[in-house]
Structure 1
Amino acid sequence: MYTNLTTELADGILTITINRPSKMNALNQEVMRELALAVDEVYNNIDVRSAIITGAGEKAFVAGADISEFLQLNTEEGADLANRGQLIFQRIEESPKPIVAAVNGFALGGGCELTMACHFRVAAENAKFGQPEVNLGLIPGYGGTQRLVQLIGKGKAMELMMTGDMIDAAEALQLGLVNHVVPAGQLVEKTREILLKIHAKAPLAIAKVIKCVNAYYKEGEDGFKTEAQQFGECFATRDLQEGASAFMEKRKPDFKGE
């Protein structure tokens, strides 16, 4: 099904691996097309409870975009390229099922933007992050100018995007860009551990958490109003009845996502 990706479903976790190690897993348009299909599987496959996005090999998560595709583009084509990429990354961000980046090396340019579209990030100790587009006469185009500010604040985001500097995993953790830093050999294990913990919670409630948190950043949307609405909708679910009953009966809940 895929030429540039591999996928594996185990324990309800779909692991999506960008598989171009000879090109440092760089994002070209074919990779983006296949990534969109993989994200569709997260949405549509009832056996998928969550997903991990990672890169093949030990050097790179995604070391950027395939620059060779940029040389012949005009203004309109460049804007269209950015719009298509933003739509794919928005689908990741708005997925009702958790999608987590397991960052196993360089996450630069479009690769850093991909990690930021995920719901959170777990990094190997050798991971490095950056938006070096200004070195090419470009700026981030897949949402990087917006999400980096959201995650680490305006001043530091401005500095990183204007200097093109890379930061290591330790600094990314300090800035809040990643949630955890672990030895490379423990990266997928740690990410799976977190997702399996999430799997024990009510799936509909998890989806509503994602929706409400994203509402904070949406222009024109009142996040408090969205929260109240989503909170109210929980009372129409069997999961709330199960969770409340399990709490009262001092047992583990058995959520069905209903």
Structure 2
Amino acid sequence: MTLLDKDGVRLTADGAVATVTLANPAKLNAQTPAMWRALEEAGRVLPGDIRVVVLRGEGTSFSAGLDRRMFEPEGIEGEHSFTDLARASDEKLDEAIAGYQEAFTWWRRSDLVTVAAVQGHAIGAGFQLALACDLRVCADDAQFAMRETSLGLVPDLTGTHRLVELVGYARALEICATGRSVHAEEAERTGLANLVVPAGELDAACADLAAALIAAPRDAVVETKALLAGASTRAYEEQRAAERAAQARRLRDLAGLGD
């Protein structure tokens, strides 16, 4: 069932699994503000029974990053160019960037598990969109690169926090500051990718993972995700208490004593 199809974004649902497809393969799924608005909308219109969202790119690349027209003085028709943004007030500039970030934030919702299926290039904004998801399954031809610094910019689409979480500060700095490519083998070895498969098996691997993720009771997965997501910011004793509280809720629910 197709729920959304606009501005290079297509959202479909099949049972408890939704698929968000970046659908502009002729431009290697280059990202625009219109695409970001459509991605944000996709998060808003997800049916309540969706448990897993798979994010994929149509064609040979997941996403080659920003549409380069954003860097041109005339920009994209109907959108602010970077030159326009630079001339805006501090408040307007901050508001604009915050709006762009919204397309990258909902993927970590506690009631969902999100999976990026990455093939070919995931550059800049494409890299950060893959990082926005909980899990990453990569084709063996996948290449990640954070090229913002080479353009005189910084990664600002929520990717820095997750990258440091996954690979550590030193490696994250080196990846971002040099803009080099991280190939699939290194991505798997360093924890950036959960799984690497032959390119022809990417869709099947994601389907298998989605099936495994929805096999367990939803509330148990939601509680477990919340525990793990908060573990790095809690002290050891706080995490123990959080585990006890979560388990108490699960036991009461299983016994039919929940709210």
Unaligned runs of at least 5 residues, structure 1: 243-257
Residues 121, 162 of structure 1: alpha-carbon distance in 2 compared, 3 angstrom cutoff: same
Task: Determine if the alignment matches structure 1 residue 228 to structure 2 residue 232.
Answer: no
Q: Which runs of 4+ in 1 moved over 6 A?
A: none
For 1:40 and 1:188, locate their aligned partners in 2 and report how far apart those are by CA, in whole Å.
Answer: 25
CA deviation string 1:18-70 (max 9, x = no partner): 1111221122111111111212233x432x23110011112x11111234142
Contact residue 142 and residue 183 of structure 2 kept, 8 A: yes
Partner residue in 2 for 1:13: 17
> Which of 84, 87, 93 matches 1:72?
84
CA deviation string 1:124-156 (max 9, x = no partner): 111110111001110000122211110001111
Supply the AA of the counterpart residue of 2:35. Answer: V
1:126-145 mapped onto 2 (5 Å cutoff)? 126-145=141-160
TM-score (norm 1): 0.84
What is the number of equivalent residue pairs in this alignment?
A: 238
Contact residue 109 and residue 132 of structure 1 kept, 8 A: yes
Partner residue in 2 for 1:255: none
For 1:181 and 1:206, locate their aligned partners in 2 and report how far apart those are by CA, in whole Å.
Answer: 23
The alignment-based identity, stated in percent, is 30
For 2:240 and 2:123, locate their aligned partners in 1 and report how far apart those are by CA, in whole Å.
Answer: 34
For 1:219 and 1:29, locate their aligned partners in 2 and report how far apart those are by CA, in whole Å.
Answer: 36
Partner residue in 2 for 1:50: 52
Contact residue 40 and residue 102 of structure 2 kept, 8 A: no
Partner residue in 2 for 1:103: 118
Contact residue 51 and residue 111 of structure 2 kept, 8 A: no
Residues 210, 167 of structure 1: alpha-carbon distance in 2 compared, 3 angstrom cutoff: same
Deviation at 1:230, TM superposition (A): 2.2
Unaligned runs of at least 5 residues, structure 2: 71-80
